[in-house]
């Protein structure tokens, strides 16, 4: 078997302790800590396989990569890859799937519980001496709500959405899944999108970012949220209009929000989400919901398996690469 030149465009996107030494096919690894957009074309020009996490690989770079047979995405989302061009050129794109089926749902409920019980606000107030000032065994500066009996609305019914639903039911929550915004009559077990927005006490997003879902939660959707829900987003930042989110949070249209993602990562200091960090009912974490030790190891194993399968001419987890 020929030696494959494998180029990793953004190795620093994954932890230092992770290695890819288990790859069994003859190979030469080239690691780049990160790659700017103007560096991608040159770096993949002679590659047989490219590993990428979040770096954008566009049509111009792909068209110059005459040896490239496969892109192994070290993530589930593939919105950073020009899939149409990969299909046209026959470049296999394989992603990793269901590797964070415990990590992400656990992070969802970490955010949900922290916001529902004002955990961070109370912690900060204790740190600042409020407990001593109260003169009582407790005080009631911030709202504390139960999850039991509330309605969780989930957008996206893949492995993560279903895992979140399972945990929610254990908490005694009612669960409903949103039908697509443009759906006519919702399919069985799905809720009309407008009704979904009006009747959910917590909304959690678990759908991909594409032309149909980009900006799916904006000012008009916030206006329908009659129960002033929590909004949890561990999927993609572009699903939510972040300026509208800020307005909804400031006006009380929603009672809180927990985000692990942003439309720009890392966000600029003046990014709309960064401007919300002083609000006690907003939590922003740096896209780490997926990153438990177990999940990262599982993801790396899938990347290796995907490359090995491609080298056997038996590609797996294929999302693009079908010549038209």
Domain ranges for the chain: 4-99+293-320, 103-284
CATH superfamily of 4-99+293-320: NAD(P)-binding Rossmann-like Domain (3.40.50.720)
- Kindly provide the residue ranges of all beta strands, DSSP E only, lying in the chain, ordered along the sequence: 4-8, 27-31, 49-52, 70-73, 92-94, 151-155, 174-177, 202-205, 230-233, 256-259, 282-284, 318-320
Average pLDDT over residues 182-204: 89
4-99+293-320 and 103-284 agree in CATH topology: yes
Report pLDDT for 119.
97
Question: For 94-123, how does the pLDDT look when each residue is reduced to its tens digit (9 = 90+)?
Answer: 999 999 999 999 999 999 999 999 999 999
How far apart, in whole angstroms, are the C-alpha atoms of residue 321 and residue 88?
Answer: 7
Residue 127's Cβ-count burial label (10 Å; 0-12, 13-18, 19+) is: exposed
Concerning whether 265 is annotated as a catalytic residue, the answer is yes
For 273, half-sphere exposure in the C-beta direction (CA atoms, 13 angstrom radius) is 23
Q: Which CATH architecture has domain 103-284?
A: 3-Layer(aba) Sandwich (3.40)
User: What per-residue confidence (pLDDT) applies to 20?
Assistant: 79
Please give the pLDDT value at position 1. Answer: 64
Of 5-14, 91-100, 187-196, the least confident: 187-196
Residue 324 has pLDDT above 50, yes or no: no
Asked about 27 being catalytic, the answer comes back as no
**Catalytic option among 4, 11, 107, 236:** 236
Q: With 50 as the cut, is the pLDDT of residue 205 above it?
A: yes
Mark whether 181 is an active-site residue. no
Of the listed 12, 265, 268, 312, which one is catalytic? 265
Would the CA dihedral through 116, 224, 214, 321 be positive or negative?
Answer: positive
pLDDT digits (tens, 9 = 90+) for 209-254: 888 999 999 999 999 999 999 999 999 999 999 999 999 999 999 9
CA dihedral 83, 91, 295, 158 (to 10 degrees): 40
Mean pLDDT computed over every residue of the chain = 95
**pTM (predicted TM-score):** 0.89
Render pLDDT for 38-88 as a digit per residue (tens, 0 to 9): 999 999 999 999 999 999 999 999 999 999 999 999 999 898 999 999 999
Both tokens of 280, joined, read: 């006690």
Neighbours of 168 (CB within 10 A): 23
């Amino acid at each position: 078997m020929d030696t494959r030149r494998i180029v990793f465009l953004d190795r620093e996107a994954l932890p230092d302790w992770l290695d890819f030494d288990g790859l069994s096919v003859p190979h030469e690894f080239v690691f780049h800590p990160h790659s700017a957009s103007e560096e991608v074309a040159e770096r993949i020009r002679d590659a047989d396989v490219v590993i990428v996490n979040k770096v954008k690989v566009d049509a111009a770079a792909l068209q110059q990569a005459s040896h490239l047979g496969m892109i192994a995405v070290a993530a589930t989302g593939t919105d950073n890859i020009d899939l149409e061009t990969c299909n046209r050129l026959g470049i296999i794109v394989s992603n990793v799937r269901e590797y964070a089926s415990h990590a992400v749902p656990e992070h969802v409920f970490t955010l949900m519980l922290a916001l529902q019980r004002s955990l961070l606000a109370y912690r900060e107030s204790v740190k600042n001496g409020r407990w001593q000032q109260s003169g009582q065994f407790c005080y009631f500066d911030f709202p504390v709500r139960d999850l039991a009996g509330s309605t969780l609305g989930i957008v996206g019914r893949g492995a993560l959405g279903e895992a979140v639903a399972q945990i929610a039911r254990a908490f005694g929550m009612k669960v409903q899944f949103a039908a697509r915004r443009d759906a006519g009559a919702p399919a069985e077990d799905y809720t009309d999108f407008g009704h979904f927005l009006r009747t959910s006490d917590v909304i959690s997003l678990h759908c991909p970012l594409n032309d149909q879902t980009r900006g799916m939660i904006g000012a008009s959707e916030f206006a329908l949220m009659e129960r002033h829900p929590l909004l949890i987003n561990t999927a993609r930042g572009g699903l939510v209009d972040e300026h509208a989110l800020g307005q909804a949070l400031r006006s009380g249209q929603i009672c809180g929000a927990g985000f692990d993602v942003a439309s720009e990562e890392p966000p600029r200091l003046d990014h709309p989400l960064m401007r919300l960090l002083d609000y006690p009912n907003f939590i922003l974490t740096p896209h780490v919901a997926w990153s438990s030790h177990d999940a990262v190891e599982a993801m790396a194993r899938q990347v290796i398996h995907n490359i090995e399968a491609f080298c056997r001419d038996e590609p797996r987890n294929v999302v693009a690469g079908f010549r038209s």
